[in-house]
Amino acid sequence: MSQEILNLVEKSFLKEEVSEFEVGDTVDVHTKILEGEKERIQVFTGTVIAMSGSGTREMFSVRRIVAGEGVERKFPRQSPRIDKVVVKRKSVVRRAKLYFLRDRVGKAVRLKERRTK
């Protein structure tokens, strides 16, 4: 009973348009950044290495290499701060979490591209 009530309350906070992507995809995450009075969009490009949660608590982790150093960021999927998520490339993966990419360097980080018709 209480779970049904939570789902009803949560439903009103869900975004109507949520972009579809999976673990292993290379994405551009457009986030809104507040700088004083101004608001601008900042793009974080990387590979989705993990997804967790459901409903309003759904999160995804994006990893990229900056100046030879790995950088990871977790984003709430339903956040109003996320403007959009653009899928640049789909990859073939056989795992739900790609934490093994943390140990890899250079060309070993690349994933095989998924071909779509």
Q: What is the pLDDT of residues 10-62, one digit of tens each?
A: 888 888 777 889 999 999 999 999 999 999 999 999 999 999 988 888 999 99
In this prediction, residue 117 carries a pLDDT of 72
Report the pLDDT value the prediction gives residue 12, as an integer from 0 to 100: 80
pLDDT value of position 5 = 87
Per mean pLDDT, which of 16-20, 77-81, 87-91 is the most reliable?
87-91
What single string gives the DSSP state of each residue in the chain?
Answer: -HHHHHHHHHHTTS-S------TT-EEEEEEEEEETTEEEEEEEEEEEEEEE--GGG-EEEEEEEETTEEEEEEEETT-TTEEEEEEEE-B--S-S--GGGGG--GGGG--PBPP--
Domains delineated in the chain = 13-101 (2.30.30.790)
Over 90: is that where the pLDDT of 72 sits? yes
Question: CA-CA distance, 65 to 53, in Å (whole number)?
Answer: 25
What is the value of pTM for the model shown?
0.84
Based on C-alpha coordinates, what's the Rg of the chain? 16
As a whole number, mean pLDDT of residues 90-97 equals 93
